[in-house]
Structure 1
Amino acid sequence: MDEVRTRWQWRQWRWSVPLVSGLLIAASLASARVPGAGLASDLLMVAAAVVAGAGIVRQAARALTARVVGIDLLVSVAAIGAVIIGEHWEAAAVTFLFAVGHALESATLTRTRSALAELVAVAPDVAVVLRDGEQVEVHAAAVAAGETVLVKNGAQVPVDGVVLSGNGALDEAAITGESMPVEKAEGDRVFAGTVSHGGFLQVRATGVGADTTLARIIHRVEEAQDAKARTAAFMDRFSAWYTPGIIASALVLGLATGDVVLALTLLVIGCPGALVISIPVAVVAGIGRGARDGILIKGGEFLETSARIDAVALDKTGTLTEGRPHLTDVVVLDPARDRDDVLGWAARAEAGSEHPLARPIIEAARAAGLDVTGLPDSTEPVPGRGIVATVDGHRVVVGNLALLRAQDVAVADVETTLDSLAAAGRTPMAVAVDGVLAGVVAVADRVRPDAEQMVRDLHAVGVRRVVMLTGDTRQVAEAVAAQVGVDEVRAGLLPEDKLAAVRDLQSRGHVVAMVGDGVNDAPALATADIGVAMGVAGTGVAIETADIALMADDLAKLPQSVRLARRTVAVMRQNIAIALATVAALLAGVLFGGVTMAVGMLVHEVSVLVVIANAMRLLRRPAATRSTGAGGDAAAYEMERTVGARA
Structure 2
Amino acid sequence: MQQYILSKKNQITLISGILIAVGFFSHFALGNAFLAEWSLIIASIFGVAPIAIQAYQALKVKVVSIDVLVTIAVIGAFLIQNFEESAVVTFLFLFGHYLEQRTLNQTRSAIKELTDMAPESALVQTEDGEFEEVDVDDVDEGDVLLVKTGGKVPVDGTVLTGEGYINEASITGESVPVTKTEGGEVFAGTILENGTIQIRADKVGEDTTFGKIIELVEEAQDSKSEAERFIDRFSKWYTPTVLVLAFIVWAITQNIELAITILVLGCPGALVIGVPVSNVAGIGNGARNGILLKGSEVINDFSSVDTIVFDKTGTLTVGNPEVAEKEVYGDNSEEALSYLASVEQESDHPLAKAVLANIGPVDTTPVDETDVVKGGGIVAQVNGHRVAVGNVALMEKEQVTLNKKAQKDVQRFEKNGNSLVLTAVDGELKVLMGIRDQVRPGVKQDLQNLKELGVKNLVVLSGDNQGTVDLVAKELGLTEAHGHMLPEDKSAHIEKLQKEGQIVAFVGDGVNDSPSLALADIGIAMGSGTDVAIETSDVVLMNSDFSRLPHALGLTKSTASNMKQNILIAVGVVLVLLASLLFSEWMNMSIGMLVHEASILVVIFNGMRLLKYRLRGDRYNVKTGVEEIETAK
TM-score, length-scaled by structure 2: 0.66
Corresponding residue number in structure 2 for 1:157: none
Structure 1 residue aligned with 2:325, among 323, 329, 332?
329
Whether the aligned pair in 1 keeps the contact of 2:96 and 2:272 (CA below 8 Å) is no
Identity, % of aligned pairs? 37
Point out where structure 1 has 5 or more consecutive residues left out of the alignment: 1-7, 29-45, 84-90, 114-227, 636-647
Corresponding residue number in structure 2 for 1:31: none
For the residues of structure 1 that align with 2:559 and 2:325, how far apart are their CA atoms? Answer: 47
Whether the aligned pair in 2 keeps the contact of 1:405 and 1:411 (CA below 8 Å) is no
Local SS of the residue matching 1:15: helix
For the residues of structure 2 that align with 1:345 and 1:608, how far apart are their CA atoms? Answer: 74
Local SS of the residue matching 2:348: coil
User: Superposition pairs for residues 528-543 of structure 1, below 5 Å?
Assistant: 528-536=520-528, 540-543=531-534
User: Relative to structure 1, is the Cα distance of residues 556 and 14 closer, same or farther in structure 2, using a 3 angstrom cutoff?
Assistant: same
User: Relative to structure 1, is the Cα distance of residues 598 and 9 closer, same or farther in structure 2, using a 3 angstrom cutoff?
Assistant: closer
1:311-360 per-residue CA deviation (whole Å, 9 max, x = no partner) reads 222222222222222223332344xx243244334333333322111222
For the residues of structure 1 that align with 2:417 and 2:38, how far apart are their CA atoms? Answer: 80
Letter of the structure 1 residue corresponding to residue 443 of structure 2: A
Corresponding residue number in structure 1 for 2:421: 429
Structure 2 residue aligned with 1:254, among 240, 250, 267?
250
User: Relative to structure 1, is the Cα distance of residues 300 and 251 closer, same or farther in structure 2, using a 3 angstrom cutoff?
Assistant: same
Structure 2 residue aligned with 1:591, among 566, 579, 582?
582
1:451 aligns with 2:443: yes
Whether the aligned pair in 2 keeps the contact of 1:21 and 1:51 (CA below 8 Å) is no
1:502 aligns with 2:498: no
For the residues of structure 2 that align with 1:477 and 1:47, how far apart are their CA atoms? Answer: 68
Point out where structure 2 has 5 or more consecutive residues left out of the alignment: 1-13, 60-66, 102-224, 622-627
For the residues of structure 2 that align with 1:289 and 1:318, how far apart are their CA atoms? Answer: 25
Structure 1 residue aligned with 2:597, among 602, 605, 608?
605
1:16 offset after TM fit, Å?
3.8
For the residues of structure 1 that align with 2:16 and 2:540, how far apart are their CA atoms? Answer: 40
Moved more, 340-349 or 548-557: 340-349
Local SS of the residue matching 1:443: strand
1:534 offset after TM fit, Å?
0.9
For the residues of structure 1 that align with 2:574 and 2:562, how far apart are their CA atoms? Answer: 18
1:15 aligns with 2:15: no
Corresponding residue number in structure 1 for 2:624: none
Structure 2 residue aligned with 1:492, among 484, 488, 512?
484
For the residues of structure 2 that align with 1:317 and 1:449, how far apart are their CA atoms? Answer: 14
Letter of the structure 2 residue corresponding to residue 498 of structure 1: K
User: Superposition pairs for residues 473-492 of structure 1, below 5 Å?
Assistant: 473-492=465-484
Local SS of the residue matching 1:552: helix
Whether the aligned pair in 2 keeps the contact of 1:250 and 1:266 (CA below 8 Å) is yes
Corresponding residue number in structure 2 for 1:294: 290
1:464 offset after TM fit, Å?
2.3
1:15 offset after TM fit, Å?
3.4
Local SS of the residue matching 1:396: strand
For the residues of structure 2 that align with 1:64 and 1:411, how far apart are their CA atoms? Answer: 82
Whether the aligned pair in 2 keeps the contact of 1:18 and 1:99 (CA below 8 Å) is no
1:312 aligns with 2:308: yes
Letter of the structure 2 residue corresponding to residue 267 of structure 1: L
Corresponding residue number in structure 1 for 2:356: 362
Structure 2 residue aligned with 1:236, among 232, 235, 238?
232
Corresponding residue number in structure 1 for 2:127: none
Corresponding residue number in structure 1 for 2:73: 75
For the residues of structure 2 that align with 1:388 and 1:49, how far apart are their CA atoms? Answer: 84
Moved more, 59-68 or 547-556: 59-68
Moved more, 314-323 or 429-438: 429-438
For the residues of structure 1 that align with 2:55 and 2:459, how far apart are their CA atoms? Answer: 52
User: Superposition pairs for residues 115-126 of structure 1, below 5 Å?
Assistant: none
1:401-425 per-residue CA deviation (whole Å, 9 max, x = no partner) reads 3332233232353322211111122
For the residues of structure 2 that align with 1:235 and 1:58, how far apart are their CA atoms? Answer: 21
Letter of the structure 1 residue corresponding to residue 353 of structure 2: R
Local SS of the residue matching 1:355: coil
For the residues of structure 2 that align with 1:79 and 1:297, how far apart are their CA atoms? Answer: 36
Whether the aligned pair in 2 keeps the contact of 1:272 and 1:583 (CA below 8 Å) is yes
Corresponding residue number in structure 2 for 1:182: none
> How many corresponding residue pairs?
483
User: Superposition pairs for residues 139-158 of structure 1, below 5 Å?
Assistant: none
1:347 aligns with 2:341: yes
For the residues of structure 1 that align with 2:476 and 2:390, how far apart are their CA atoms? Answer: 29
Corresponding residue number in structure 2 for 1:576: 567
Whether the aligned pair in 1 keeps the contact of 2:401 and 2:428 (CA below 8 Å) is yes
For the residues of structure 2 that align with 1:10 and 1:468, how far apart are their CA atoms? Answer: 49
The alignment's C-alpha RMSD in Å is 4.2
For the residues of structure 1 that align with 2:265 and 2:442, how far apart are their CA atoms? Answer: 54
Corresponding residue number in structure 2 for 1:622: 614
Corresponding residue number in structure 2 for 1:133: none
User: Relative to structure 1, is the Cα distance of residues 98 and 586 closer, same or farther in structure 2, using a 3 angstrom cutoff?
Assistant: same
Local SS of the residue matching 1:468: strand
